Amino acid sequence: MPGSGLRPGLLPAGEDFGQYNVLLIDTRVPKAVHKLVFGILAAFSLALCAGPLPAAERQAVRIGVLAYSGSEVALANWSHVTDYLNQTLPAYRFSLELYDIAALASAVADQRVGFVITNGGQYVALEAQYGLSRIATLESPEAVSPDRAIGSAVIARADRSDLNTLADLKGRRVAAVSPEAFGGYLVAVRELKRLGIDPESDLARTDFLGLPMQRIVQAVSNGSVDAGIVRACLLESMARSGALRLADFKVLSPRRIEGFRCGLSTDLYPDWPIATARHADRGLAKAVATALLSMPPTSQGYSWSVPADYQSVHELYRELQTGPYAYLRETTLEGLVRRYWPYLVIGFVVLLGWMVHAVRVEHLVRVRTAELHRALTARYEAESRMREQQEQAEHLSRLSILGELSGTLAHELNQPLATISNYAQSLLRRQAAGRLTPEAVQEAGTSITAQAERAGGIMQRIRDFARKRPAVHERLALADLAREAVALFGGMLANAPPVALDSRLTPGAEVEADALQIQQVMLNLLKNADDATKGLPEERRRIELILSREGAWYRVSVRDRGPGLPVALRARLFEAFFTTKPDGMGLGLSICKTIVEAHGGRLRAETNADGQGLTFTFTLPAHETAA
């Protein structure tokens, strides 16, 4: 029979023979033949019951075991399982395969084992990934119950007076089995995080030493680490075997749980299960479960119970966002979608609306530009219409820059407004309590006035930059214009990169220009430099604004350390509607070029000498006032 583990043609042990009797009777064979056949069947059944099949004819069944204490200890701990199963299910030949955590997971993935004995943590991970099903849970004499059996002991040397609780582990060196180990790491991590200690940042370091777990005890003993995380009862087991003296070690933050006889630093979780792999024969799994549940306790008191509830293990993994719940902190597309899908939907709707708006705005700009070109064909309107459209474009460009740089305007205004509110509430509380003094009124009034003036100053700078007006040329200090542009850029842009202003001009260096137009050019170039360096390391986000003189010209240079542009694209930078930004309209640099040329200068872009980034430079005619 398929999957029964017996050879074809043999009757399954313990099956009702009635159906076969009917078949024999219906064959119309003489009664003597019936008796002969029944005799043969009875003799064959007795032969089956008399003893196991020869080893070569028994079906091999491998049981994968997590050997956390080494091969010898694992064989001593679990050989009674295979001995009992080989005796109870003689049609099969059960054997133990010993693995560490990673190797056991690989064996399950490759279908090299039919059953698995491991801790509750790895079982939950393998259940989620490979479909393991638990059929029984170990019942240990040291445990409170099968549901409360496994915990962690965080140990240190007994002579370490500075280590007594889990909170003392901050800044210490700790040893553990591996990041996936259950009793050897994760159970203790949950307790540490409940105390506000993040093992990844608050410990000096964590050394993962692998199996067997005795390595952690040895590392604590020789002082190579300050503390170690081991499975509860490991110390006691090693002490019974003479491998160590319990008096040489102590358990940090020890817990006393009635019925649990080992040192413990954490909660208790379900004991080890035996689980069947997805590819294993279900009939065999049922037979193994039945056999184990009826197995008498060993001489040490170990037996098997019905499968325990491993919900507490799931909660631990979910809280730590690891194992089957690692997707909760993954930055992969699937993890982000699972975790943030409501926000992604909202963001998609907003993005879609923004795209529609951007397309509409670009369409309107193209339509208006086409209208401007048609209007310029009329010679008598050419000069006046060109000037009007230029002023309108400059104003729109300023508003565009203002919109891009005003991401933190609400934050800037919120600080003085919050301060005003706090002082006002303080006055009201003092009045209600009868503790209002002239000094308190004076202090609050002064602070409220200062913060109100600060908020008004912010709004005035925005209003001055955004107002629409005809161009006005006047003598201006170029260094002052640059300082104001840097202040406006840094004060209104969220997470603005540092701008180094390097003025090499002599005192009294002036230009005859429109202040807002020149600031508009500077801000546009600074914003482009910021866009070019987004996502780069901090040292490459620094922007330089350099003022210098070259003969009869002043040079204003904005240098970034971004990825730069190929020569072919650089040649088209100042064309209208050409842009390298996915959300740009391609008007900014074209308008800047028009403004600079209207002031008698030139605007150009060059690759930096070291090959990193671009430098935008515009020139203005020099004027100098005697100091």
CATH code where residue 593 lies: 3.30.565.10
Tally Cβ neighbours within 10 Å of residue 520.
23
The predicted structure's pLDDT at residue 418:
65
Whether residue 592 sits in one domain with residue 480? yes
Residues with pLDDT less than 70, the chain: 1-56, 330-336, 338-339, 378-416, 418, 454, 457-471, 491-494, 576-577, 582-587, 625-627
Structure tokens at 551: 């003969």
The predicted structure's pLDDT at residue 390:
60
Whether residue 134 sits in one domain with residue 163? no
The predicted structure's pLDDT at residue 197:
94
Q: Which domain holds residue 102?
A: 56-145+273-314+323-329
Flag whether 22 is in a domain.
Answer: no
Dihedral angle at the C-alpha atoms of 518, 522, 525, 526, nearest 10 degrees? -160
The predicted structure's pLDDT at residue 414:
62
Task: Tell if the pTM clears 0.75, that is, is over it.
Answer: no
Kindly report, residue by residue over 471-523, the tens digit of the pLDDT.
678 899 999 999 988 887 776 666 778 999 999 999 889 999 988 888 888 98
The predicted structure's pLDDT at residue 407:
47
Whether residue 281 sits in one domain with residue 186? no
The predicted structure's pLDDT at residue 410:
55
Q: Which residues contact 582 (CB under 8 A, 6 or more apart)?
A: none
Question: How many domains does the chain contain in total?
Answer: 5
- Domain finish residue from 466, 482, 504: 466
Whether residue 253 sits in one domain with residue 159? yes
Whether residue 247 sits in one domain with residue 99? no
Whether residue 479 sits in one domain with residue 459? no
Own/partner pairs, 486-492, CB within 8 angstroms, 24+ separation: 486/526, 486/545, 488/405, 488/461, 488/519, 488/523, 489/405, 489/523, 489/526, 489/527, 491/412, 491/458, 491/461, 492/402, 492/405, 492/406, 492/407, 492/408, 492/409, 492/412, 492/462
Nearest Cα neighbor of 454 from 421, 480, 485, 415 is 415
